[in-house]
Amino acid sequence: MTLKKYFGDRAFYKMTLTVALPIMAQNLITNFVSMLDNLMVGALGTEQISGVAIANQLSLIFYLAVFGAMSGAGIFTAQYYGRKDDEGIRYTVRYKLIAGLVIAAAAILIFLVFDEPLIRLFLHASDEGGDLEATLAFGRSYLRLCLWGLVPFALTQVFSGTLRETGNTFSPMLFSLLAVATNGVFNYLLIFGKLGFAQLGTDGAAIATTISRFTELGATLLYIIVKRKKISYLHGLLRSFRIPGALVRNFTLKTLPLMGNEILWSGGMSMLSVAFSLNGLTVVAAYSIFTTVFQLFSIATMSMGISIGIIAGKILGAGDHWKAVDTVRKLITFSMLLSAGVGILLFTLGGLIPQLYKTSDASKALATFFIRAEAFIVPLSAFANASYFTVRSGGKTLITFLFDSGMLWLVSVPAAFGLFYAFRPDIHILFPVVQGLEIIKDIVGYILIKKRIWVKTII
């Protein structure tokens, strides 16, 4: 009887996979093409891959800020959908549109003014050498070209996120597939100058990324126009941008902690990268390879976290608290089982991919070490991820802010810099020690879920 609490029946897993598989497929496609992009840029050399990696690390702050803004209002979207309240969903979409455009404008201004000093944070000389000024030039040029894609990215997240929160995870997956296919094709053509196109190197990669952003937005808007009669909650969306003041306040109170969390989390991850890069440019290249490979292998567990938030939010919106608790327990169990398999695959296969890059042997060997060390951390990260989305589904965004970014900035980042400057440990010691601190987050996550502070209907 005890074990039965943790496992669902066939209908339960069918429901779970109906939500999760399209999200997994979308992330798989995106990350697989991202890995191919990384390989193509990696074929150009260490300075090129390092410059692009740094630019992408900075861009990640913007992407996650948008994700946080969309997620804050998205909590209400999922619960409004559970209550079949179309007018409520319309208010959340309007809020997302305004927030997305404001964030995009702010990011463009910041990156135009401060791109050089931000990139230089990652550049440190070492015995392995490397041309730091060339790396800076590649990073700046790549970042500036990618700025053209920030607005279409934000708008895409508004509508694709709303489709997912209202149960349609399949269509956004198809749009993402189209975008990454476009990105992959144009990367090949523009990086290497194929079929009569100019050979643009890292600039070609940036242009390809921007083209893919517009492609995904176009496909998403076309779908909405074609299916407008069936998407009832979008009827009259743009007739006005009116949102009741009380709802603006409620949305903002939930959104700001999430958006702040995503900004601080991505900033914290960038600071970890800076801490690791104190060991030289070799580490920057190796960490870029590791990040790409790890994102590809962790798709299943990350997608399960998103699915937990969607499923739990809908049940909480319908007011069935007991079912929400039972469902989340089983979903977390399923996610942990997936994470064990992911860890085994990551350790077994992850060491092969770095050999495909045209970078130094030292960078390849270090990337392999990072990947295999992280394989043991996957279950810890999976539980922390599931805990985060569970607590967030009940609107406890301030707690998730402290849980996620608080852990990173108060524990992991100080530990990474403190250990380096106090003891100068080898990166082979520093990396696993810092990553292993995820266990503290798991303990806190377990307590939050056990106390059921997230079991709340907020609409």
Give the other-Cβ count within 10 Å of 320's Cβ.
15
- Tokens representing residue 227 in the block: 């299916």
Q: What is the pLDDT at residue 113?
A: 93
* 3-class secondary structure, 387: helix
- What's the CA gap between 166 and 100, in Å, rounded? 19
pLDDT tens digits, 232-286: 888 888 887 888 888 888 888 878 887 888 788 878 888 888 888 888 778 878 8
230 C-beta neighbours (distance < 10 Å), count = 8
Band of the pLDDT at 18, cuts 50, 70, 90? confident
Q: Tokens for 326?
A: 């039972």
Contacts of 249 (CB under 8 A, 6+ apart): none
**For residue 167, which phi and psi values (nearest 5 degrees)?**
95, -5
Q: Are 184 and 211 in contact (CB under 8 A)?
A: no
Give the whole-angstrom CA distance, residue 367 versus residue 376.
Answer: 15
Give the whole-angstrom CA distance, residue 263 versus residue 69. Answer: 10
Phi and psi angles of residue 197, each rounded to the nearest 5 degrees, phi first: -75, 155
CA distance linking residue 48 with residue 359, whole number of Å: 10
Mean pLDDT of the chain: 86
pLDDT over 90 percentage in the chain: 34
pLDDT band at 419 (very low <50, low <70, confident <90, very high): very high
Q: Where are the alpha helices (DSSP H) in 318-377?
A: 321-349, 361-375
**Residue linked to tokens 């039965």:** 4
Can you tell me which residue has the tokens 């306040």? 249
Q: Where are the domains of the chain?
A: 3-451
Query: Is 170 in contact with 177 (CB distance < 8 Å)?
Result: no
Helices (H), 123-280: 132-146, 150-165, 170-192, 202-226, 245-277
Q: How far apart are CA 457 and CA 459, in angstroms?
A: 6
- For residue 78, what pLDDT band results from cuts at 50, 70 and 90? confident
Tens digits of residue pLDDT in 305-359 = 888 888 888 888 788 889 988 999 999 999 999 999 999 998 988 778 888 777 7
Give the integer Cα–Cα distance in Å for 302 and 308: 10
- Structure tokens, 266: 């991505």
Give the phi and the psi of residue 227 in degrees, each rounded to 5: -100, 15
Q: How far apart are CA 339 and CA 379, in angstroms?
A: 5
d(CA 49, CA 288): 8
| Separation between Cα atoms, residue 234 and residue 89, nearest integer Å | 8
Work out the pLDDT band at 433, boundaries 50, 70, 90: very high
- At 247, list the tokens: 């709802």
Whether the per-residue pLDDT at 23 is higher than 80: the answer is no
**Per-residue pLDDT reduced to its tens digit, 107-149:** 999 999 999 999 888 877 655 556 788 889 999 999 999 999 9
Q: Residues 6 or more apart from 234 whose CB is under 8 A from it?
A: 90, 93, 224, 228
Q: Which two tokens stand for residue 323?
A: 């079912």
CA distances from 336 to 80, 390, 446 (A): 29, 14, 13
| Amino acid residing at 431 | F
The residue whose two tokens read 């476009």 is 182
For residue 267 the two structure tokens come to 């900033």
Structure token pair of residue 3? 């074990």
How many Cα atoms sit within 13 Å of 238 on the Cβ side?
A: 3
CA–centroid distance for 167 within its chain: 20
pLDDT tens, residue by residue, 277-302: 888 778 878 888 888 788 778 888 88
pLDDT at residue 101 tops 90 = yes
